[in-house]
Amino acid sequence: MTTPPGSEAAAPQAASPRRSGNKTLWLLAPGVAWMVLFLLVPILMMVYVSFWTQTTFKIEPILTTKSWVTFFTSDTYLQALWTTIRIWLTVLVATLVIGYPTALFVGLFVRNKALQTTLLVLCVIPFWTSFLIRVLAWRPMLGKEGAINLILLKAGIITQPIEALLFSDLSVVIGMTQIYCVFMVGPIAFMLGRIDPNVIEAARDLGAGFWRIFRTIILPLSMPGVVVGSIFVSVMVLGEFATSAALSGRKVNLLGNIIVTQVGSLKWAFAAVVGVVLTIVMGAVVAALLRVVDLRKEL
């Protein structure tokens, strides 16, 4: 029986896609293993521990919903959940309001690459110091006899110090906005820097004004950067605890603060409950932001 001509060449060609698929699986394996070991397994373990029985002095692997019931029936913990969401939204809006114009100037109006790099480096200079130092540095600025109150008093803008500047929600928002604003500026400036100047010039030649160009060209093309920056800021603010503890005098209680307190008290089950709730909130926020722009397509 003779072999049909070309059949020898067809066999390797048929096996080629299979070999290619195996190579793809091997390339994906390290990333998948990393995600499973350091993301999926810890989350599942946290969910499992949240159902353990917590007593005053010990925790036992006996499944119960007592810790969950305690969280959702306590006004204190529900208030902390609402405070976390409220401060996150406030900081997100504040970083966007401050960060977008800054990124617009750096990424669009400054065309010199060296100057762009210099300005972005200036934005991250505060990160050359300790996070704790940057947080505590706001205390002498916002205090009753701090720099801001002294300047306002000297200028005659106020007649008595503003006490709400420190140990309040406002102080926490100010501190977080300054710390995390750069994470909003960077991605937006990167996306704005990718806009072809010829597109904007063509719009000008057709008679479009700045606001129309901004609305129809600049804003849509910068939205992936806005989404990425919002994800960065959201994840970090929702998990915050140090800034609120340092600038609010422990008057502002976030979910992160509750986790730290419960872990310090060896109440692992309840800390796991708060951690699961916080993870769900973060996941919902990130999922909602990813629906605004298809980052895989845009980037």
Question: Which DSSP letter does residue 250 get?
Answer: T
On the question of pLDDT at 18 being above 80, the answer is no
pTM for the complete prediction?
Answer: 0.88
Strand partners, 60: 53
- CA–CA separation, 60 and 49 (whole Å): 9
Judge contact between 130 and 218, C-beta under 8 A: no
Tell me the per-residue pLDDT of 174-192, one tens digit each, with 9 for 90 and over: 999 999 999 999 999 989 9
**Tokens for 8?**
């020898």
Cβ partners under 8 Å of residue 257, min gap 6 = 80, 241, 244, 245, 250
- CA–CA separation, 268 and 63 (whole Å): 13
On the question of pLDDT at 231 being above 90, the answer is yes
Q: Say which amino acid occupies 100.
A: Y
E runs forming strands in the chain: 53-54, 59-60
**Positive/negative CA dihedral, 91, 93, 98, 101:** positive
Per-residue burial over 64-75, b if 16 or more Cβ lie within 10 Å, else e, is eeebbeebeeee
On the question of pLDDT at 5 being above 60, the answer is no
Tell me the per-residue pLDDT of 110-164, one tens digit each, with 9 for 90 and over: 878 888 888 888 888 888 888 888 898 899 899 888 899 999 999 988 888 888 8
- CA–CA separation, 240 and 150 (whole Å): 30
Mean pLDDT of the chain: 88
User: Cα 262 vs. chain centroid, distance in angstroms?
Assistant: 24
Tell me the per-residue pLDDT of 149-170, one tens digit each, with 9 for 90 and over: 999 999 988 888 888 888 899 9
Question: How far apart, in Å, are the Cα atoms of 158 and each of 36, 134, 149, 166?
Answer: 56, 27, 8, 16
**Positive/negative CA dihedral, 180, 186, 188, 189:** positive
Tell me the per-residue pLDDT of 256-287, one tens digit each, with 9 for 90 and over: 999 999 998 889 999 999 999 999 999 999 99
